[in-house]
A and B are shown apart, each in its own frame.
Chain A
Amino acid sequence: GAVVSQHPSWVICKSGTSVKIECRSLDFQATTMFWYRQFPKKSLMLMATSNEGSKATYEQGVEKDKFLINHASLTLSTLTVTSAHPEDSSFYICSASPTGFHQPQHFGDGTRLSIL
């Protein structure tokens, strides 16, 4: 089945640091990938849609300068949390889907980000 790999799974860093999270589709090409954020005991909140070869589409209220998304190839999207602060601490999850109608999303295992 389709596999999505997310790396790293866990990051702890100091306030002011920028952190890059990678999302790879291992056995299919994905022109579109999605980035979600999840707070403890809450649902997933869609942050942005990552589009291969073009700018990402951000959901309302998500700062595009804070959360930089790059989708340089058909199998890789990256999310960079710039100048991270403690309030950026969260669980970040990516997803992707093979092209075609009625295809489910396949999710990475998530990245736990803790900013000290």
Chain B
Amino acid sequence: SQQGEEDPQALSIQEGENATMNCSYKTSINNLQWYRQNSGRGLVHLILIRSNEREKHSGRLRVTLDTSKKSSSLLITASRAADTASYFCALPPGGSNYKLTFGKGTLLTVNP
């Protein structure tokens, strides 16, 4: 299964600012998923966007998907210190929702 590549690898912002992280991939997808991992914890699912969707919102999170550019972005608005975590995109193999592989992620630090 393919792996997404997140960019940047690290991002440090002040509380209240917006944070944008990107994910690029190489082959066709059925959906793309974003996850958050707090230090020393498991991953938490944030948003799943299907290949026929262009944008999806959940609270302060906005995910966009551009299949022509094979890229996705995750925007966190009005960030909080509690948003400090690593963020990963994951792409299941075509035709299946299983066997996710993860890139190195983006480490977001929100300074109070």
On A, residues with C-beta under 8 Å from B are: 4, 6, 32, 34, 42-44, 46, 49, 91, 93, 95, 97, 100-110, 112
Contacts and interface: CB of A to CB of B under 8 A. Distances in A.
A109 B97 contact: no
Given A49-B99, A104-B33, A6 B40 contact: no
Interface of B: 30-31, 33, 35, 40-45, 48, 50, 88, 90, 97-105
B30 A101 contact: yes
A107 B99 contact: no
A37 to B, nearest CB: 12
B100 to A, nearest CB: 6
A109 B30 contact: no
B42 A93 contact: yes
A51 to B, nearest CB: 11
B45 A91 contact: no
Contact of A110 (B41, B50, B101): B41
B41 A105 contact: no
Contacts of A110: 40-42
A102 B48 contact: yes
11 contacts: A6-B42, A34-B100, A42-B104, A43-B102, A43-B105, A44-B43, A46-B100, A91-B40, A95-B43, A100-B97, A105-B90
